[in-house]
Amino acid sequence: MTNTAMLAIGINPGFGNTKIVVNNGAGDEKSIVFPSIVAKAQRQVPGALEQIQTIQIKDESFWVGEDALIGSPRSEINKARLKDDYFIPALVRAGLEWLEVPREPSVAVSGLPASWADELDTATRLGELLRIAAAHTFSGSKIRIVSEPLGVLYSQVLDARGARVRPELAKSRVLIVDIGHYTVNAVVVNNLRPEPAMSFSLDLGTSTVLARIGQLLFASYEMDLTLFQIDQAVRNKGLLVSGEFLPLPPKAELVLADAGMKIVAKLTELLRGGGAIEKVLIGGGGAEMESLAQPIVDKYRQAIVVPNPQLSVATGFARLARYSINKGGQ
C-alpha cells in the first residue's frame, strides 16, 4: 500500500460524544457521532428481531453508545478515563467497526484537552489506549496526539485532501474556542504557531448546563432524562412527550445564554494583555447550541461558528493525518 492510499483517521473520544472521521485521500470523509457511554454486555433476549452489537475488548464485552442505555451505562468525564483499559478502547473500536474501517495500517490523530496536551505521559497513555482499540490499524508510530482545539483550526486551514487552504487564517492571530461537554478549551495560534502561554481548559462545558436544563424539563414534563437525551432535546429545540413534540421550557434559553456569558467573561480575563486577536473560530458540540455560542460571537465580532462544529475537531484531526501522509510522515 502506498502512503497516499492509507486511511487518515481523526479520533475525538469526547466526554459527551465520541466523534470519528475517516479520510480516504480522494476528498471523501465519512464520520460518526455517538454518546461516550459504555455498559458491560448482558445476556440478550432470545428471539429478538434485533440483537445489540457487542464490542469486544480483551476478555470483556461491552455495549456502546445508545446501545449502552439498555444496560447499566457509565460515562467518564475526568482524567480517570485514561486509567481504564476498557472505556476509551470500547468507544473507539465501536466507532471504527460501525464505520467499517478495514484492519490495515492507517495514520491517526487524536487529542487531549488543552491543559493536558503537553503532558507526555498523558499523551502516551492515550496512544496506548488507541492501540488497544485497534492494534492492527494503529501500529508502530502512526498515532499523533495534539491539543483538541487545534482540530477546529485544521478543519478550516486544510481541505479534505490535506492541502492548505484559507491563507488569511494561516497568517492571522487566531483564537480557537472548542466548547465541549466537560471543558471549554481555548488556544491562541499566531501564523499557525500555538502560543504556549495562551492555552486554557475551562471547567465550563455543557454538562452543567444540560443538567440545569434537565431540571427544567423534569419540572415541566416530569421526564427524567439522561444528559445525552437532554443534549438531543436542546439541539432539536424540543422533545417528544407522549408522542407530541413540545418546545423546551422558556428558561432553557436563558440558561444557555448565561453559560455563554460565563465563557466570555473567563476568556476576557485570561486574554487580557494577550495582544490583538484577528480571527475567532468556535467549534465543538456546544457551538451547535445557538444561545450558548451567541455571547461569544457578540463579544468578538470577528468570530464565526465553523461549519458542522460538533465534528470540527475530529475532521481537523483527520485532515492533519492526511496532510502528514501527503508529506510522507507518520
Taking the domains of the chain in order of start, what are their residue ranges?
A: 3-166+308-326, 202-305
Among 40-44, 202-206, 236-240, 318-322, name the most confident range: 318-322
Q: 148: which strand partners?
A: none
The dotted CATH code for 202-305 is: 3.30.420.40
Interstrand relation of 184-190 and 173-179 (parallel, antiparallel or unpaired): antiparallel
Q: What confidence score (pLDDT) does residue 45 get?
A: 75
The residue assigned the cell 484531526 is: 317
For the segment 82-111, the average pLDDT, to the nearest whole number, is 93
Residues 148 and 271: their CA atoms lie apart, in Å, by 19
Query: 10 Å Cβ neighbour count for 227?
Result: 19
Same fold, 3-166+308-326 and 202-305: yes
The residue assigned the cell 444561545 is: 291
Q: Does domain 3-166+308-326 bear CATH number 3.40.190.290?
A: no
pLDDT above 90 (res 47): no
What is the pLDDT confidence band of residue 4, given thresholds at 50, 70 and 90? Answer: low
* The three cell numbers locating residue 240: 417528544
For the segment 261-266, the average pLDDT, to the nearest whole number, is 95
Q: What confidence score (pLDDT) does residue 288 get?
A: 94
Q: What confidence score (pLDDT) does residue 3 get?
A: 56
Interstrand relation of 238-241 and 244-247 (parallel, antiparallel or unpaired): antiparallel
Residues 80 and 287: their CA atoms lie apart, in Å, by 26
Overall pTM surpassing 0.85 (yes/no): yes
Minimal CA–CA distance to 257: which of 234, 224, 228?
234
Mean predicted lDDT score pLDDT of the chain: 91
Q: What confidence score (pLDDT) does residue 17 get?
A: 94
Minimal CA–CA distance to 91: which of 17, 10, 146, 182?
17
Q: Is 220 left (phi over 0), alpha (psi -120 to 50) or beta?
A: alpha
For the segment 54-80, the average pLDDT, to the nearest whole number, is 90
For the segment 274-288, the average pLDDT, to the nearest whole number, is 90
pLDDT digits (tens, 9 = 90+) for 184-216: 999 999 999 999 889 999 999 999 999 999 999
Query: 10 Å Cβ neighbour count for 284?
Result: 33
Residues 282 and 153: their CA atoms lie apart, in Å, by 9
Angle between helix axes 290-299 and 251-271 (nearest 10 degrees) is: 40
Q: What is the side-by-side strand order in the sheet with 38-40?
A: 38-40, 60-64, 55-57
pLDDT digits (tens, 9 = 90+) for 102-141: 888 789 999 999 999 889 999 999 999 999 998 777 755 5
Q: 3-state SS of the chain: helix, strand, coil percent to 5?
A: 40, 25, 35
What is the pLDDT confidence band of residue 330, given thresholds at 50, 70 and 90? Answer: very low
Per the CB < 8 A criterion, the answer to whether 177 and 188 are in contact is no
Cα separations in angstroms, 306 against 50, 84, 159: 37, 33, 14
